[in-house]
Amino acid sequence: MASEAADRTIDELLERYLGLLDQHATLRASLAATQQDTLHSLARANFFAPRGARYGPDQYDARMQASRRVVITVEDKSAPPTFTVTEEDDAVVGSTRKEGGGGGGGEEGAGKDAAAARNDDPIRWFGVLVPQALRDAQNHARRAVQDVIPRLASVQAEMAHVEIEVRRARKRRAKASGGGGQKQDVVGSTAQTVSASS
């Protein structure tokens, strides 16, 4: 009876794992398509760019800062973490620097000036009138970062958690039926020895 309950638990965990695996495959395909769309739009923007202009890392602002942050939430130790992406606020940046700064007043002032001087929209680094293809590339990349990647990371963490639960359930099942299983193994190996010597 206990063995049947353990088998049922393992089957439920494996069913959950297969559902997560399906989600993982769907999200990976979505991420690949989004990255392909991003690169295609960027290539189109470079193709139709004015003579001598090119959109790429050469025109990045050296003072760039993250406009989004990853927040990892762990509700309890037995649950997998969840990943979310949030918009970066200037107030959050300032408070984070104050907490981690350790009393460097000059650094705080320089950090506030840099945050105030920072352009909120990175596409403006490439000029005021950028091609629509470049805006499309930004939108595809933004969708990947805000939507697909956090969900993919959360599903991967949950899959790892379910794998651990399956291993634990199998160990519990083996412990519960440990004595009987060892006797059967001994009998089986004896029968194999006898049949081999015949």
Q: Per residue, what are the HEC states of 105-164?
A: HHHHHHHHHHHHHCCCCHHHHHCCCCCHHHHHHHHHHHHHHHHHHHHHHHHHHHHHHHHH
Backbone region of residue 164 per phi and psi (left: phi > 0; alpha: psi in -120 to 50; beta: other values): alpha
Q: What is the pLDDT of residues 51-64, one digit of tens each?
A: 877 887 777 777 77
Measured between its terminal Cα atoms, the distance across the chain in Å is 38
Predicted local distance difference test score (pLDDT) of residue 119: 52
Average confidence (pLDDT) over 94-105: 46
- Residue 35 near residue 145, CB atoms below 8 Å: no
DSSP conformational letter for 88: P
Cβ within 8 Å of residue 198, ≥6 positions away: none
pLDDT digits (tens, 9 = 90+) for 176-196: 887 544 444 443 443 444 344
CA–CA separation, 134 and 142 (whole Å): 12
What average pLDDT does this structure show over 167-180? 83
> Is the separation of the CB atoms in 61 and 125 below 8 Å?
yes
**Stated pTM of the model:** 0.68
Q: Where is 176: in which H helix or E strand?
A: helix 149-176
Judge whether 173 and 10 are in contact, CB under 8 Å.
yes
Position with higher pLDDT, 155 vs 114: 155
